[in-house]
Structure 1
């Protein structure tokens, strides 16, 4: 995997140089001065798309020293604005070996999140990882165990808990305070997934380590529709829109409705699967090999699921226009990333608004809401729990995994949060994990 080190002239010609497991080293007075300050050392792992965004956010708060991506062009594009002070790697493990890295961001496809996050924590790094955190329910238990074992600070990228002028936090406060009523219902509406295929296979581009990109997932021939944004539409790498966008609104809904500590007790639903529900169920149970699937997107393209929480409150997860609705016998509010409307929001007095702002700080663990990445860096420095902690997020993403499982099985499933298992349901429990490809097992 190692490649020759680039010269300065080659670096300038290619914008960021040739990526390699061995990085490019360069020092200057300014770089030495920056390294000497008290900023946290930052490395960004997985820097295409959203991964680039969170890497840049972390770089603005710390001292960026390295990035890693098996897609070399992604790494070069990300590193280019930072010049020679950002070393480029194709193997993330080389980043974790560095003593000058304090925190990492992980913006890879979902099927790599847990492997990289656990490796990073075991190497003594604090972690900011994109959502959805896990590929499977089984991975949730592993990441919780790793956080407890290592004591590292871990923030999940469900930034609606921090940003967007606090509209989601205000919605949570209104629901939890009883202002909407005692019995609550939420509609988590997130839009549907893309359908497409079958796609033709192509030669692997020279800038991509395809086997490394696949990781734990089954070995298949390369097609460009599997990478970039579109990895989300394949069950081998993601849970589709159900987990990708679903975890954003469902995370807030669980928090607002008092289910964040447990997740749902029951889930049922129906969905449309491009290759058919029965075929996808057999594949995910390990009864069909990957070669028997068409080379097409295969996650649920549309869905309508209902979750019942232990306290009796309910959440409807649907593939409709993006918004979150919270309602009870006293009021109904709608919230998205641009607004918070409805009763009682539009009837609040100045005193009510002052109360709401004060309660938002309380629900935000006594800190002032703002940048989600800023909250992570603050918690790294004071060693406190960030607002999107791994424990509540696992419950949120598991609820979305449960929705997929209920749809695949075509029936209701019941969850025991204390036992971390489905109740009396061998098939549902079998769908909690996946067979993982060596040597990328977790």
Structure 2
């Protein structure tokens, strides 16, 4: 097995990049390609970090925007990287898309306006913060970060450097979710009694045992792991399957729960806050590579007394849904449909006659691109992404500990629970860290 390569520190990396003639965009300075009078075109130059499953959807979408040019790609898997670059170049009819194996090289490019982060969750904070420091606006796939502390650090970096950050909770850009949240905010259901969120069961499984395997040609396994603990390569623990290993992600809680809990937070008016109490009982594997919950069931309670329960569904539907219960009945919203205890509730929600008007977006990507120009905050701003992801992490921590926890959303800390507070962050394998 090869010896793990030691990544350069951020300082050493930038020193070498500058020595080689690379010019980094200084944080807070607007790119001339997007905002300067001498820009050769009005196109928005985009770089994409990660070219796997979720990235392909973003790339296909971005290729449909004439004002966007995908100018750079980064991946630690050379095979995937080259295939995706060939796809992008074929679309544009040239060879202008640059390829990188290290995200810091892509982030340092002065000709990029925005970066899409489509890597495993344990990389999100490091990828996004580096791009922010290099003066880029960033679209970060959900969940925003792996841990609560990473989320707060990412918000702080975005605010410090004045960057626009969109979180990939795209249901906010769908009319039915918007209308349901706005209807509830306007008291359409009367007093809100409870919220129930269902998320799909795991869709990947492994055996009880596994063996180390040779690292495939073209894959930088050490950089794929990055800040996660070192472990030998096995194909079942790589690429999409990262979702089910706690070192890299938090399972379906943050995969699907991040979407539907985000809508619940929106309807509750909790985009800058969260619950005050959490408890849950989950089931976790006792063998094999996968370590995230196979059964999810946790309940959060907000200061206004409203409980939110998130649990695994077992009806075979690979989608989630959120159901709001109030004095006047219930409304249920998913990606496919909206239903209600009384059809009149749906008609009233669609009428949008309440005094409270939530921001609207018809297209999540376009909303972000518009905000690059206006400098307004997008529909899924970094703070809301952080707060929704925090609820998911609170649920996982409660299930792992198996006890009721009290949470202070203003301080973002558990009350009188040292062990739980330690779980708000995770150590990173050196030399990676939030300061890099």
Q: So what's the TM-score if we normalise by structure 1? A: 0.83
Cα drift, residue 359 of structure 1: 6.1
Residue 87 of structure 1 and its aligned partner are, at CA, apart by 1.2
Q: Indicate the residue corresponding to 1:437 in structure 2.
A: 429
Partners of 1:416 and 1:423 within 8 A in 2: yes
CA distance in 1, matches of 2:98, 2:288: 36
Change (3 A) 1:360 1:231: farther
Matched, 1:130 2:178: no
Aligned to 1:416: 408
Aligned to 2:336: 338
Aligned length in residues: 386
Instruction: Report if the CA contact (8 A) 2:142-2:255 is conserved.
Output: yes
Aligned to 1:66: 72
After superposition, the Cα gap between the structure-2 partners of 1:359 and 1:375, relative to the gap in structure 1 and judged at 3 Å, is: farther
Q: Are the aligned partners of 2:284 and 2:291 in contact in 1 as well (CA < 8 Å)?
A: yes
- Tell whether 2:46 aligns with 1:42: yes
Counterpart contact for 1:117–1:127, Cα < 8 Å: yes
Q: Does 1:148 align with 2:159?
A: yes
1:84-138 deviation per Cα after TM superposition (whole angstroms, max 9, x unaligned): 1211111111111211100010100000000010000000000001000111111
What is the root-mean-square deviation in Å for CA atoms of aligned residues? 2.1
CA contact (8 A) 1:272 1:302 kept: yes
Q: Note the alpha carbon deviations across 1:287-344, whole angstroms, 9 max, x for none.
A: xxxxxxx552011100111110111111110001532111111121111111111145
Q: 1:149 offset after TM fit, Å?
A: 0.7
Report how far residue 374 of structure 1 moved.
Answer: 0.6
TM normalised by structure 2 equals 0.84
> Quick check: 1:315 aligned with 2:308?
yes
Q: Separation in 2 of the partners of 1:392 and 1:219?
A: 32
- 1:270 aligned onto 2:302: no
Secondary structure of the 1:64 match is strand
Q: CA deviation at 1:58?
A: 3.1
1:360 is displaced (CA, Å) by 11
Q: Judge conservation of contact 2:250–2:396 (CA < 8 Å) in 1.
A: yes
Give distance in 1, aligned partners of 2:408 and 2:385: 17
Whether 1:355 aligns to 2:365 is no
**Contact 1:127–1:155, Cα closer than 8 Å, also in 2:** yes
Q: Is the 8 A contact 2:206 2:236 kept in 1?
A: no
Q: CA deviation at 1:37?
A: 1.3
Deviation at 1:56, TM superposition (A): 3.2
Match 1:179 to one of 172, 184, 188: 188
Q: Structure 2: where are the runs of 5+ without partners?
A: 6-19, 23-38, 90-94
Look up the SS of the partner of 2:392 in the other structure.
helix
Q: Give the whole-Å Cα distance in 2 for the aligned partners of 1:245 and 1:360.
A: 31
Aligned residue number for residue 257 of structure 2? 246
- SS of 2:248's equivalent? coil
Asked whether 1:117 is paired with 2:128, we answer yes
Structure 2 counterparts to residues 16-35 of structure 1, below 5 A: none
- Of 340-349 and 46-55, the range deviating more from structure 2: 340-349
Q: Any gaps of 5 or more consecutive residues in structure 1?
A: 2-20, 24-34, 276-293
- Maintained 8 Å contact 1:22/1:89: no
Runs of 4+ in 1 over 2 A off after TM superposition: 55-61, 192-200, 257-261, 343-349, 352-355, 358-362
Determine if the alignment matches structure 1 residue 169 to structure 2 residue 170.
no
Greater fraction helix: 1
Shift of 1:50: 0.3
Name 1:215's counterpart in structure 2.
226
Q: Secondary structure at the match of 1:217?
A: coil
